[in-house]
Amino acid sequence: MQKNIIHVMVVEDDRDEAELIGTLLTTAKIPEVSAEAFRVSYQTTLRGAMAEIAKEYVDVILLDLNLPDSGGLDTLIKLRGEAPSIPIVVLTGAYDRKLAIDVLHRGAQDYLIKGKSDHQLLLRSVRYSVERKRAEEELKRIQTQLIQAEKMKSVGRLAAGAAHEVKNPLAIIMMGIDYLTRKFEGPDEKTKMIMQQMKDAVLRADYVVKGLLNFSSLKDLDMKVTNLDEVLKESIALVRHAMEKRQIGIVTDFDPHLPMVKIDRSRIQQVFVNLLTNAEESMPDGCQLTVKTYAKKVESGSSVGYRTEDHFVPGQLSVVAEISNTGPAIPEEILENIFDPFFTTKRERGGTGLGLSVAKSIVDQHKGLIRIYNREEGGVCAAVFLQPVD
């Protein structure tokens, strides 16, 4: 069995106590935990603990509530606020029933009394906290996915019905405008302009409805073995004009040995055009856009795993198209909403909030992944992972 290294951070100002815990963990020889090894790091203050989790991956925290720079429940609340996803086991000297309940309510995974816990109890507590937290996170992730899928489905259902009910009135308005335009024919420029504006408004409403219909017609894919580089080149050609107008440079870095993919060419092109346009619109003039393709083994993350609904297993080869810009980062608080139908930050500029959600649906239907994240070196990266042809 492969050994997993669990990084335990002990936050305890009593050095003897901290060392004792460390020794108990690192010399563990207990069958039920023998599959794991522990790496232990020590902090004596809350500030030190926060600094460590900010720069290092920690699996579990053993926390003494009373530290030189923080005391009581407050210590737990502050640390949880900083790292809500890391499981915390609280250590304290005296048994206090109320405090025990309080720390559990505040999100601690467990509660141990110093001196009263033998190494078996300690190890079990640490391991179970890690496992419980993992299960919780996994559950949360699946719930989010389910909600997202459900949202998409209901929009699709609504779209087909709404389209008919909206397009018919639009057709009447359009015919009416054509009638009035004829009746008011003459030198009156103002009337002409108003008629044209009304026509444009009808076409705009129709455009939104068409976007909605994309949801309901996504089922019919025309899958063909394709070179992804070609599709990207076509997509770039479609947006090049807009980019040039704003002096945005496009750098391409295509892998000449890229494996072929089986895709619906026009649908994937729609995805790329959407991502390219997003990248362009979020950049100030004169910035640079990079388009890259390569083959890569997928790492774990959303939709990667061994369940039937997962699109990739960890380590599986994928064909990646990456579009990155040098523009401003996406604020963290909206990052989780960007794929939601109707979520948009550019409504005043005519955004419908459907572009990315349609893009995601299309990629999902290809059993691929789409990830959008802020790059460490600045800018935003959108990556599409597709299945290579065997």
Partner 1 sequence: MINGFHMSKKKILVIDDEVNFSNLLKINLEDIGEYEVKAIYKGSEGYEAAREFCPDMIIIDVVLKDADGRDVLSLIKSDSQFQHVSVIILSAVPLKQILEKHPVLLGNTLILSKPITLAMLVEHIHQQLKKSENG
Between strands 317-325 and 380-386, the pairing is: antiparallel
Burial track 77-96 (b if 16+ CB lie within 10 A, e otherwise): eebbeebeebbbbbbbeeee
How many residues bind to partner 1 according to rule CB under 8 A? 24
Minimum CB distance to partner 1, residue 150 (Å): 22
Q: Measured between alpha carbons, how far is 186 from 37 in angstroms, rounded to an integer? A: 87
Q: Among candidates 64, 85, 59, which has minimal Cα distance to 75?
A: 64
Question: Does 299 participate in binding partner 1 (rule CB under 8 A)?
Answer: no
Q: CB-wise, 220 or 348, nearer to partner 1?
A: 220
Q: Among candidates 260, 255, 263, which has minimal Cα distance to 292?
A: 255
Stretch that binds partner 1, among 45-53, 168-176, 272-280, 372-380 (CB under 8 A): 168-176
Binding test (CB under 8 A) with partner 1, winner from 202, 218, 221, 330: 202
Minimum CB distance to partner 1, residue 274 (Å): 20
Q: Are 111 and 89 in contact (CB under 8 A)?
A: yes
Minimum CB distance to partner 1, residue 196 (Å): 11
Q: CB-wise, 166 or 335, nearer to partner 1?
A: 166
Binding test (CB under 8 A) with partner 1, winner from 139, 160, 201, 389: 160
Binding test (CB under 8 A) with partner 1, winner from 73, 100, 163, 194: 163
Q: Measured between alpha carbons, how far is 224 from 231 in angstroms, rounded to an integer? A: 12
Containing H/E element for 64? strand 60-64
Binding test (CB under 8 A) with partner 1, winner from 206, 229, 255, 310: 206
Binding test (CB under 8 A) with partner 1, winner from 35, 149, 175, 260: 175
Question: Does 179 participate in binding partner 1 (rule CB under 8 A)?
Answer: yes
Minimum CB distance to partner 1, residue 197 (Å): 14
Of the chain, the end-to-end C-alpha distance in Å amounts to 30
Tell me the sheet residues that pair with 261.
Answer: 226, 388
Binding test (CB under 8 A) with partner 1, winner from 142, 158, 213, 250: 213
Q: CB-wise, 135 or 171, nearer to partner 1?
A: 171
Q: CB-wise, 157 or 375, nearer to partner 1?
A: 157
Question: Does 193 participate in binding partner 1 (rule CB under 8 A)?
Answer: no
Question: Does 35 participate in binding partner 1 (rule CB under 8 A)?
Answer: no
Q: Measured between alpha carbons, how far is 37 from 33 in angstroms, rounded to an integer? A: 8
Burial track 271-295 (b if 16+ CB lie within 10 A, e otherwise): bbbbbbbbbbebbeeebebbbbbee
Minimum CB distance to partner 1, residue 136 (Å): 42
Q: CB-wise, 168 or 300, nearer to partner 1?
A: 168
Residues making up the chain, counted from first to last? 390
The full 3-state SS of 228-280, as one line of letters, equals HHHHHHHHHHHHHHHHHHCCCEEEEECCCCCCCEEEEHHHHHHHHHHHHHHHH
Q: CB-wise, 114 or 167, nearer to partner 1?
A: 167
Question: Does 198 participate in binding partner 1 (rule CB under 8 A)?
Answer: no
Question: Does 200 participate in binding partner 1 (rule CB under 8 A)?
Answer: no
Question: Does 365 participate in binding partner 1 (rule CB under 8 A)?
Answer: no
Tell me the sheet residues that pair with 263.
Answer: 224
Question: Does 178 participate in binding partner 1 (rule CB under 8 A)?
Answer: yes
Minimum CB distance to partner 1, residue 365 (Å): 16
For residue 214, the 8-state DSSP code is H
Question: Does 270 participate in binding partner 1 (rule CB under 8 A)?
Answer: no
The phi, psi pair for 348, rounded to 5°, reads: -70, -15
Q: CB-wise, 113 or 163, nearer to partner 1?
A: 163
Question: Does 182 participate in binding partner 1 (rule CB under 8 A)?
Answer: yes
Stretch that binds partner 1, among 13-21, 79-87, 113-121, 214-222 (CB under 8 A): 214-222
> Going by C-beta distance under 8 Å and a sequence separation of 6 or more, which residues neighbour residue 167?
206, 209
Distance of CA 206 to the CA centre of its chain: 31
Stretch that binds partner 1, among 174-182, 335-343, 364-372, 373-381 (CB under 8 A): 174-182
Point out which residues bind partner 1 (CB under 8 A). 160, 163-164, 166-168, 170-176, 178-179, 182, 199, 202-203, 206, 213, 216-217, 220
